[in-house]
Structure 1
């Protein structure tokens, strides 16, 4: 009997050791990849499903890659994300893969925080750069190399107050409308509606000289930041047009409250705003007293119906020890059609993949977001807008130089001075600064 008990005890001990070794071996085999992200929307609009896309992608990725675990810290707000990331960077604990805000990209790529992705792109036969829109892919390029891949993008479009235009007997402009049509409509709707001697209905709000520069085929700087183009014909025409447009308001500064209350015909807005506030009850909360549509930006005489685009990107840490796995995961977020389709279901932006945005599934998703009878930005038009959208240059002095230009052009728009000579003076000053 004792011998039997000893055998049972021995077998139990051996069994425990085997289970323990198996468990330890599994623990050793599990590879954890750290992912850096923030909560909420990148586009400053409400988003109650901020983790839905990532959680779904992680679940599928882990299932397809046994032994891999993706971990991220939740609850980091976008406004705190850069500070949080900087602290992790100083501690040498930055995530293997992480979201890259637009304001951080140039710094991260220029000081070596982001891994150069060229070798992965060139050696991965299953990866085609052409699958992305060239405009958004270009957002992740610095000095001829790719340092991040686009994840989600948002172009700027024009909101049109359909109720106001209808009351004035004006049709919503078509997708190929121009500055001439824009000015004509603004001139017609700008008026004193209650006969008190004060203009109280306006053509546009927040249409900036930069919006006009993009639409007129202009640019402020050479791509590498070696020269300023503020004095070029395209930019001069754009500034003159916005000055002329502003004069319609008779020195009144139109406000966002006036647009929200239905007193303004047009306002440029990100595509994300259009998607968010089409949704009930946000539509009721934000714009309840008028109907509106979303259309393209008007084209200048030297340009097209082009607008600026903003892109949220994802990069790999230059110090990661798991670069192949990191590359595999970054592709799963940016290059995987299922992940990218979820952007139309759970976020407010647009997919960076042509195949996804141009699909009929996306067209049906966009139709769900508009009221019956309202026009939609269909997937074909959206695809065209994204592909031809303009991006800002990528050079270290860009932020500082842009602020200098903005401040001085804003002053020019407040005066009657010769616009061309004033802009040429700015260009000369900025060129000197760029050469330092």
Structure 2
């Protein structure tokens, strides 16, 4: 028998679905439940964030004597989805769980999550229609919301204007004003920064030549996609993807505008001119020792675009108190609490996508930065690529792309190999 850690996300959730199918008892209604202890898995260990969660939970418990406790259970981010799905398949599912966007199709389509839309719609003061259509798209099945998108964080570019000036280059605002806020010009400037200062040009944060789907922040500018819209066909070998990854290969190995494999550069420590990352990282600039700016993703050959990273909260159908957990989710994500959570987790509510709400949550950003970059990014951004059987696909693509990250790599040939490896999985 295989160890559970080698099972794919889809396989684990399929196991969980079989367990659910064999359960004859329905979830106990929230009104009749007693001595309930809820557990929600999360990947944050940030003390301030957990303190806010606990405060919201305490307010809920005060109004619901049937609930004795709500525990937020941090799991390591690196193994989060594997650990969660193993718990589900082993009959030890939490009551609620954070879910990464790349695992969303597995969870949404597997039956592992309890329905939540009816409860959210009926909860007084919830304002269900305020939820942004683009933000909820990934978390729906048959037009029904299966999980709540509690964090919709746009990918943006932070620029170190002091480092640009030290290299004799224009500031980020000057580049934008001159019509040079595009990937080709960013790479040229980054190359000049590296030559003049020895520091990095641009960094795709958290890519590290392993987390390949973070490169979507670049390839979307070429109009590229990893697979067809229906998910059945591989698109890695398309002309658009070949051109996008050729750009990145040249940036790393020829122009030196991007750190190569094995090299690291932390923008927030002043080690690069630009970084592509999510807006939630802005708090790291509260005590920055350099002048910085925030801009949208650079334009690519296919034009302007934006991308968001998402996380959802789902109620596990296998949990013993699914209805109570759904009721708590409605409280946890109501308008008041959504506004409180916005300081770390950009909201999915249209009424809160404004400079006033987001400025209070992100004090290091200016009103113009929020209005011009953050709000459009949340409202229109496409979600990072996701697919069922995400763990197996992710591992297969990563292994196939390893051959890309050498100076003499044949980009087109490597991408042909990616499709040969991953296409059989996509069609399943």
**What displacement does 1:267 show?**
1.7
Aligned to 1:205: 203
Native 8 Å contact 1:53 1:339 kept in 2:
no
Shift of 1:126: 7.4
What does residue 400 of structure 2 align with? 408
- Seen in structure 2, the aligned counterparts of structure 1 residues 361 and 187 have a Cα distance that, compared at 3 Å, is same
1:87 and 1:244 map into 2 onto residues whose CA distance is: 41
- The alpha carbon displacement at 1:145 in A equals 5.2
Take 2:161 and 2:318, find their aligned partners in 1: how far apart are those partners?
52
User: CA offsets per residue over residues 157-180 of structure 1, 9 Å max, x none?
Assistant: 222111111232412144982223
- Whole-Å Cα distance in 2 between the matches of residues 121 and 388 of structure 1? 24
Give the conservation status (yes or no) of the 8 Å contact 1:191–1:202. no
Cα distance change of structure 1 residues 427 and 39 upon mapping to structure 2, 3 Å threshold: closer
Alpha-carbon spacing, 1:396–1:95, altered in 2? closer, same or farther (3 Å): same
The match for 2:314 is: 315
* Aligned pairs for 1:25-104 within 5 A: 31-38=34-41, 41=44, 47-62=46-61, 65-69=63-67, 71-74=69-72, 76-79=74-77, 89=88, 92=91, 94-102=93-101
Deviation at 1:339, TM superposition (A): 0.5
Rounded Cα–Cα distance in structure 2 between residues aligned with 1:143 and 1:213: 30
Equivalent position of 2:282 in the other structure: 274
Within 2, Cα distance between the matches of 1:87 and 1:242?
Answer: 36
Check conservation: 2:103, 2:390, Cα contact below 8 A.
Answer: no
How far apart in 2 are the matches of 1:105 and 1:264? 33
* CA spacing shift, 1:322–1:405, aligned 2, 3 Å: closer
Q: Mark the CA change 1:172 to 1:301 in structure 2 (over 3 Å): closer, same or farther.
A: same
| Structure 2 CA distance for aligned equivalents of residues 92 and 179 of structure 1 | 48
**C-alpha separation in 1, matches of 2:336 and 2:395:** 39
* Structure number, greater radius of gyration: 1
* Unaligned ranges ≥5, structure 1: 1-27, 194-199
Q: 1:332 is matched with which residue? A: 331
Contact 1:363 1:379 in 2 (8 A): no
Looking at structure 1, the residues matched to 296 and 349 of structure 2 have their Cα atoms a distance apart, in angstroms, of 20
Deviates more, 1:81-90 or 1:140-149: 81-90
Structure 1 residues 403 and 76: CA distance shift in structure 2, 3 A: closer
Q: TM-score, normalised by structure 1?
A: 0.73
2:153 match: 154
From the superposition, tell whether residues 222 and 393 of structure 1 become closer, same or farther in structure 2 (CA, over 3 Å).
Answer: farther
Return closer, same or farther for 1:48/1:376 CA change in 2, 3 Å cut-off.
Answer: farther
Q: For each residue in 1:14-48, what CA deviation from the matched residue of structure 2 results, as whole angstroms up to 9, or x when unmatched? A: xxxxxxxxxxxxxx967454432357737xxxx33
SS of aligned partner of 2:185: helix
359, 363, 372: which one pairs with 1:363?
359
Residue 253 (structure 1) aligns with: 260
Query: SS of 2:285's equivalent?
Result: coil
Pick closer, same or farther for the CA change 1:92–1:413 going to 2, 3 Å.
closer
Q: Which residue is 1:391 aligned to?
A: 383
Cα deviation, residue 56, structure 1: 3.4
Is contact 1:34–1:96 with CA below 8 Å preserved after alignment? no
CA contact (8 A) 2:96 2:325 kept: yes
- Cα deviation digits, residues 177-218 of structure 1 (max 9, x gap): 22233133224323145xxxxxx2332233764321133332
Which residue number corresponds to residue 291 of structure 1? Answer: 291
CA deviation vs aligned residue, 1:57-116 (integer Å, no higher than 9, x gap)? 3344345x5544262235644458668756764675544434334565444445432124
Give, in whole Å, the separation in 2 of the partners of 1:76 and 1:161. 33
Task: Report the secondary structure of 1:205's partner residue.
Answer: strand
**Residue aligning to 2:250:** 244
Q: Is the 8 A contact 2:119 2:330 kept in 1?
A: no
CA distance in 2: counterparts of 1:428 and 1:83, whole angstroms: 26
CA distance in 2, matches of 1:225, 1:144: 19
Residues 224 and 266 of structure 1: CA distance in aligned 2, closer, same or farther (over 3 Å): same
Match of 1:25 in 2: none
C-alpha contact (below 8 Å) 2:202/2:275 kept by paired residues:
yes
Contact 2:108/2:139 (8 A) holds in 1 = no
Quote the residue 1:180 is aligned against: 184
Q: Which runs of no fewer than 5 residues in structure 2 stay unpaired?
A: 1-30, 208-214
Q: CA RMSD in A?
A: 3.8
For residues 306 and 379 of structure 2, what CA distance do their matches in structure 1 show?
A: 10
Q: Is the 8 A contact 2:159 2:275 kept in 1?
A: yes
- Once residues 235 and 423 of structure 2 are traced to their aligned partners in structure 1, the CA distance between those partners, rounded to angstroms, is 9
Contact 2:200–2:259 (Cα < 8 Å) also in 1: no
TM-score by length of 2: 0.74
